[in-house]
Structure 1
Amino acid sequence: MTDDYEDDYTPPAPSDPQESLDEVREAALRAGLEAYELDEGDLATLEGEPVEQREALPILAIVGRPNVGKSTLINRIIGRRLAVVEDTPGVTRDRVTYEAEWAGRDFLLMDTGGWESGVTGIDLSVAQSAEAAMELADAMLFVVDATVGPTATDEKVVKLLRKTKKPVVLVANKVDGPQGELEAAALWNLGLGEPYPVSALHGRGVGDLLDVAVGALPTEARMVDDEGSPRRIALVGRPNVGKSSLLNKLADSERAVVNELAGTTRDPVDELIEVDGELFTFIDTAGIRRRVHLSQGADYYASLRTSAAIQRAELALVLLDGSVPLTEQDLRILSEVVDAGRAIVMVVNKWDLVGEEERFMFERSFEKDLTHLTWAARVNLSALTGWHTNRLKRAMDEALTNWDRRISTGKLNTFLGELVSAHPHPVRGGKQPKILFATQASTRPPTFVLFTSGFLDPQYRRYIERRLRETFDFEGTPIHISVRVREKRGRR
């Protein structure tokens, strides 16, 4: 007698034995964590759903003319002396955006410089810096020196602020007492509403100001990446390394102005460009047209544009000039991309024109200064002729794929177990810290959390990162490793 049920039955495919072992190991290690004191954040990390999208922090820009105390206010808000404070207008800074937090809200604080030239004044200095911030920011703090009162420059900036139709909070700085509050009252004449008296130097009134400023920021989080939209690529690098030439070559048209003078691109250009059948959004960040008497301001404005582009992008193409050794500015831009957690491809331009001696000098500086970035993808090409630009798409795809990569918890813990068995952590003070459990908390960039019984040496953490890269292929993306030391319950 034939059984139709048996004829239609298809046995399940045998499961991967290694995968089953990984899952068993994961369950055993997770159970072992119950003996340790875990806080709510730990439990959320262990039980939370994978976070594939990253919220874009709202931007609060600081605008105003020079020497009104913008950098002092930034340092006061972030609680650290990071922004350079000098009496000289136009001081170039390494960073123009800073992460900040107030009343549980995270946001980006953008420093707009505030430099100006006596020759061109508002037209090419304050205006460009302020307009850039207005375009990028969600809300603005307009800082005015209460001891001086509203000036003609302040009034011109007010006109720019009104055009944006974005929230503006008027800050009356350098108010140290009742007399200063009377002086601040004169700022009502600017027509921006109530001036908030503060002393950035001493901290007076800054808390009340931040309450208002944070309230002006949008409450709905924006996502850095929208599913299905073209991936965003920032073209960054110091002036005259060929960013606009590469953009034009990829687009196969003159989309951006190319000139031998450094910094001829005035505004950032978002271009939809098809590369080997796939659409990408390219953000050109070449800076502004440079004038001799505005060189400091132009550099600063370009820096602001670069920082903003990196924040908006998923991957940065960092262009380097292969005909000269790496510069401090090159290293600063590379560091900013890594700090922002973006995927990265280093593009060495003009390589077809580089002689043997120049190549030797470049490679020497590359090996000396970028030992910490051996994981970054690199493509040597010529943006002008198109030589080897066909290699760029593959490097971009690999970097973005690795930026998105997720390792299963079972596989991750098996990897760490084998690593620790082969190379255990050194004994320190008679104790040997153990890795209790590990999980990947998020992607973009890949972020791992290690629960341990003690602190891990920096060298051992770097060893773990190196082996992670070798085993799971994280070329082209930074990876973050967070170590959480936890004690056994009842041990105090």
Structure 2
Amino acid sequence: MPFKPVVALVGRPNVGKSTLFNRLTRSRAALVADFSGLTRDRHYGEGRVGEYPFIAIDTGGFEPVAKDGILLEMARQTKQAIAESDVVIFLVDGRAGVNAHDHEIADLLRRSGQRRIILAVNKAEGMGMAATSDFHELGLGQPRPISAAHGDGIVDLIELALQDLVDPEPEVVEDDGFDDFPDDYDADDENAPLPEGKFRDLPVDHRIKLAIVGRPNVGKSTLINTLLGEERVIAFDMPGTTRDAIEIEFERDGKRYTLIDTAGLRKRGKVFEAVEKFSVIKTLQAIEACNVVLLMLDAQTEISEQDAHIAGFVLETGRALVVGINKWDGLDADQRERIQREFDRKLRFLSFARMHTISALKGVGVKALLKSVNAAHAAAFAKLSTPKLTRELQAAIEQQQPPRKGIFRPKMRYAHQGGQNPPLVIVHGNALDAIPDSYRRYLETRFRNAFDLGGTPLRIEFKSSHNPYAQDKGK
């Protein structure tokens, strides 16, 4: 893999760092709104200018002299991003002009080491040289006028930032391995004999995208920091600390993960700030985009209606699910029994999901939690053979036939897999519209046990054969 330089975007609040980050990464990964303090954690993304790849880091509004609270935690995140970078783009606001915060940041950057520092004056569209004149006093060289919102000056800025840091990435021509196969070769047929000299590739164990969701202040960021062994995201004893959905790559025991730390989801009536509305959208998008969801509950509070709503949304999207009940170490035996009863009563529709009691702060139970995440991911992407599905279907019918509807009994003939994440089983036969939900749940249990599909929802779809005489019934 070619070397990719790291470009950190640094500046005081609301100067346009996230807008620039989204443009550099050609994404909408970072939240953008007309509010200060929207970004709080480090946010990484892949960028490219021409043939030159790089890694961009978006940071929160930087206040170097912060003494305590959330501003101090945000400052630590920014300092870590500076330490990780090869070049820093110091972003200032051309319309607001230079201020004391800009001088404080400039002083810190000068003391940060030998890395290159580039001063970019944002929001400079239509201002000409007047946008940059005040910023020479920062003593960081020639200010570069740009517009992150409109794209003005961005390419020149990044080319300057990457100067002498990268070589063009070599063009890679991918060989799919089938160029010299016979025209009639069926690559989807697992039983098709392979042409001489060819072999079947083993499936690639792709990265597990794990979204960690739950109400505010249940310990989602603390768990991620424990998994990584560093203060990667801000974990602060205040609800709503995380606002964006932060993606972090992580590897353990040969398994590769993308951890997604999400904002805490509140009740609809409690989402007052526009920023929180953006955060809720990002969290729901993270659930839809991931492979496995870890739903975290707080053992020291009751399982709420909001917990059930979050779980219901996960179920609707069909994502594999693991439940972690955090802060378990602070409970006595009676409290633990109460939480178990509440879980069985309020979240009984999650019976397919494995449940773990953990302490994110102390790391207790985390290893077993990851093991269940791996198992849920494997179940979500399991390949179910048609012969085995059909045999299990016939065995289920022999044990318990579907109930009659009038004088007819639904007749199920065979089953095959129709999709993954979640697994979809399609059952073919006659008069299957008459099969009740209770029998669908019975088949779901049979298939789940036969294929070890714990941790993932399972969908069953019935398809009835077309009756060629249906249109003649009224004649």
Q: For the superposition of Structure 1 and Structure 2, which TM-score range results when normalised by the shorter chain?
A: 0.5 to 0.7
What is aligned with 1:367?
A: 344
The within-5 A match list for 1:204-353 is 229-286=206-263, 295-353=272-330
What is aligned with 2:35?
A: 123
Q: Which amino acid aligns with 1:382?
A: S
How far the C-alpha of 1:275 sits from its partner, in A, is 2.4
- The structure 2 residue matched to 1:469, chosen from 426, 432, 448, is 448
What is aligned with 2:399?
A: 422
- Give CA-to-partner distance per residue, 1:11-58, whole Å, 9 cap, x none: xxxxxxxxxxxxxxxxxxxxxxxxxxxxxxxxxxxxxxxxxxxxxxxx
Q: CA RMSD in A?
A: 3.3
Q: Report if aligned partners of 2:217, 2:264 keep a CA contact under 8 Å in 1.
A: no
Are 1:451 and 2:428 counterparts? yes
The within-5 A match list for 1:5-16 is none
How far the C-alpha of 1:296 sits from its partner, in A, is 4.5
Counterpart CA distance in 1 for 2:416 and 2:259 is: 33
Counterpart CA distance in 1 for 2:405 and 2:411 is: 12
Q: Which amino acid aligns with 1:377?
A: R
What is aligned with 1:411?
A: 388
Gaps of 5+ in 2: 1-27, 47-122, 124-146, 154-202
Higher relative contact order (CA 8 A, sep 6+): 1
- The structure 2 residue matched to 1:431, chosen from 397, 408, 417, is 408
Please give the secondary structure, in 2, of the residue aligned with 1:439. Answer: strand
How far the C-alpha of 1:451 sits from its partner, in A, is 1.6
Counterpart CA distance in 1 for 2:401 and 2:421 is: 29
What is aligned with 1:488?
A: 467
Counterpart CA distance in 2 for 1:467 and 1:228 is: 27
Q: Report if aligned partners of 2:243, 2:276 keep a CA contact under 8 Å in 1.
A: no
Q: Which amino acid aligns with 2:330?
A: L
Are 1:388 and 2:300 counterparts? no
Counterpart CA distance in 2 for 1:409 and 1:325 is: 44
Q: Which amino acid aligns with 1:467?
A: R
How far the C-alpha of 1:234 sits from its partner, in A, is 0.8
Are 1:354 and 2:266 counterparts? no
Q: Which amino acid aligns with 1:468?
A: F
How far the C-alpha of 1:294 sits from its partner, in A, is 7.4
Question: CA 1:228/1:374 → structure 2, altered by over 3 Å: closer, same or farther?
Answer: closer
Counterpart CA distance in 1 for 2:206 and 2:387 is: 32
Please give the secondary structure, in 1, of the residue aligned with 2:418. Answer: strand
Counterpart CA distance in 1 for 2:425 and 2:251 is: 34
- The structure 2 residue matched to 1:441, chosen from 418, 425, 445, is 418
Question: CA 1:451/1:288 → structure 2, altered by over 3 Å: closer, same or farther?
Answer: closer
Please give the secondary structure, in 1, of the residue aligned with 2:359. Answer: coil
State the TM-score, normalized to the length of structure 2: 0.55
Structure 1 stretches of at least 4 aligned residues deviating more than 6 Å after TM superposition: none
Please give the secondary structure, in 2, of the residue aligned with 1:337. Answer: helix
Question: CA 1:297/1:287 → structure 2, altered by over 3 Å: closer, same or farther?
Answer: farther
Counterpart CA distance in 2 for 1:470 and 1:294 is: 41
- Give CA-to-partner distance per residue, 1:78-100, whole Å, 9 cap, x none: xxxxxxxxxxxxxxxxxxxxxxx
How far the C-alpha of 1:164 sits from its partner, in A, is 12
What is aligned with 1:103?
A: none
Q: Report if aligned partners of 2:214, 2:265 keep a CA contact under 8 Å in 1.
A: no
Counterpart CA distance in 2 for 1:355 and 1:298 is: 38
